[in-house]
Amino acid sequence: MDVNEDALGMSEEPLDASYESAWDTALAQLDEVAELMGLAPGVHETLRSSKRALVVSVPFRMDDGSTRVYQGYRVQHNVTRGPAKGGIRYHPDVTLDEVKALAMWMTWKCAIASIPFGGAKGGVAVNTKLHSRAELERMTRRYASEILPLIGPERDIPAPDMNTDEEVMAWIMDTYSQNKGYSVPGVVTGKPVSIGGSKGRAGATSRGVMYMVFSTLKQLGIPLEEVTVAIQGYGKVGGHAAQLLHDAGCRVVAVSDVEGGLFRSRGLDPEAINRHKKEGGSVVDFPGADPISNEELLEIECDVLIPAAIEGVITVKNADRIKARLIVEAANGPITFEADKILIDRGTFIVPDILANSGGVTVSYFEWVQDIQAYFWSEEEVNDKLRLIMERAFADVYELATEKNLSMRQAAHWIGVGRVAEAHLTRGLFP
């Protein structure tokens, strides 16, 4: 183990035979739908690989004057329908393959929402808990400089993901703008409103998740007020989703973060949990609730399970113990390809990530449009337009799933891959 891995606290557990990486999952999903829809082999092969992948080393100064170097990535999976779009993740387990998978899912997501972007993703293999804010700022600015040749409002537009937030976006926007010599707000989305961010972007992914819960319950004829919800991950997406669903009348019975989880059958109050988390940095030890592990949260008796943390949490090992009737994937890739089959066989209704969490990129698209036009919208306008796009996308996917007897995931991929394939065939192959 080299010095960096040590500092990162990376796990060195051996992989077992059933292990499925995010990249394995993404490719298996694409291959399955390519066969189902009879995709042209040349287009299928093109879509299996990333258009561009940049690996950079990110050296930066620590507060004590020493130097630390981490590996960073930016991958553009596809830009046939428009500029590349996708978040930047800071996490010790970030790898090139993970970023490639996340970029591919972004391509399908934008196509399903009919947003004129291709898919991208970026990341730095860093444990943010080991660094001060000043160190993270220097690291971010250096990472932004290293990926500068790829990004820009017409090329590739980053956004927040795990452990990155609007402040990180502001640093990237500033670094890019300093290089250009003028302000370029459209280079990132999910930035503060004071520098060209959009109203409604902070809660957009969670709001979209809520709309997908509503749409599904309506289809299944389940009244909203009777619904119990469990949410894994209490960050930007999971925390907001808990609040929105609680406010809408659902009973949020369990939540968790990386440290552990909470259960209360009568329901939890997200506002009180937010206050508790602000003080201690975690949801654990919240008074009046039973402590549970992240594994237990996934297997809890509830109507709606919302994984909102990281990929690969529901696998062949625990899929047959999941009791939720409905899973809405706020996280990207929380269910492996093989686990998905087990859940579908058991009758679980799954709203797949590429549909369920597309509220974030949809409002990011609105932010980019507002930046380019230098004309800003009200929060109400943003939320109304978001709702329309997501309800239409849900209806498209549900209709195709019903018509062709597909799972919601297969139908979503069919639509996403189909739209990208059509764009490829329409443009033709250069030269």
Judged by the rule CB under 6 A, the positions of this chain that interact with ligand NAD are: 160-163, 205, 232-238, 256-258, 294, 308-310, 330-332, 357, 360
Task: Kindly tell me which of 20 and 44 has the beta carbon lying closer to ligand NAD.
Answer: 20
Q: Which is nearer to ligand NAD, 234 or 365 (CB)?
A: 234
d(CA 353, CA 332): 5
**CB 254 to ligand NAD: min, Å:** 12
Q: Which residue is nearest to ligand NAD (CB)?
A: 235
Strand partners of residue 60:
68
How far is it, in rounded angstroms, from Cα 94 to Cα 69? 14
Q: Is 140 helix (H, G, I), strand (E, B) or coil?
A: helix
**Do residues 88 and 54 make contact, with C-beta atoms less than 8 angstroms apart?**
no
Residues 6+ apart with CB under 8 A from 217: 223, 224, 227, 326
**Least gap, CB of 234 to ligand NAD (angstroms):** 4
- Rounded CA-CA distance 332/307 in Å is 9
Q: Is 301 left (phi over 0), alpha (psi -120 to 50) or beta?
A: beta
Q: Smaller CB distance to ligand NAD: residue 255 or 421?
A: 255
Q: Residue 80 or residue 256: which is nearer to ligand NAD going by CB?
A: 256
Q: How far is the CB of 202 from ligand NAD (least distance, A)?
A: 9
Element (H, E) at 370: helix 359-373
Active-site residue (options: 85, 121, 199, 236): 121
Name the residue nearer to ligand NAD (CB basis): 34 or 162: 162
The nearer residue to ligand NAD, 53 or 258, going by C-beta atoms, is 258
Tokens encoding 133 = 């804010």
Q: What's the distance, Cα to Cα, between the start and end of the chain in Å? A: 46
CA distance 71 to 123: 9
Q: Which is nearer to ligand NAD, 196 or 233 (CB)?
A: 233
Q: What is the sign, positive or negative, of the torsion defined by CA atoms of 232, 237, 243, 244?
A: negative
Q: Cβ distance 378 to 200 under 8 Å?
A: no
DSSP codes joined into one string, 170-233: HHHHHHHHHHHTS--GGG-SS--GGGTPPTT-TTHHHHHHHHHHHHHHHHHT--GGG-EEEEE-
Least Cβ distance, residue 165 to ligand NAD (angstroms): 7
Q: Is 121 a catalytic residue?
A: yes
Q: What is the CA radius of gyration of the chain?
A: 21
Closest distance to ligand NAD from the beta carbon of 331 (Å): 3
Where in the sequence numbering do the catalytic residues fall?
A: 121
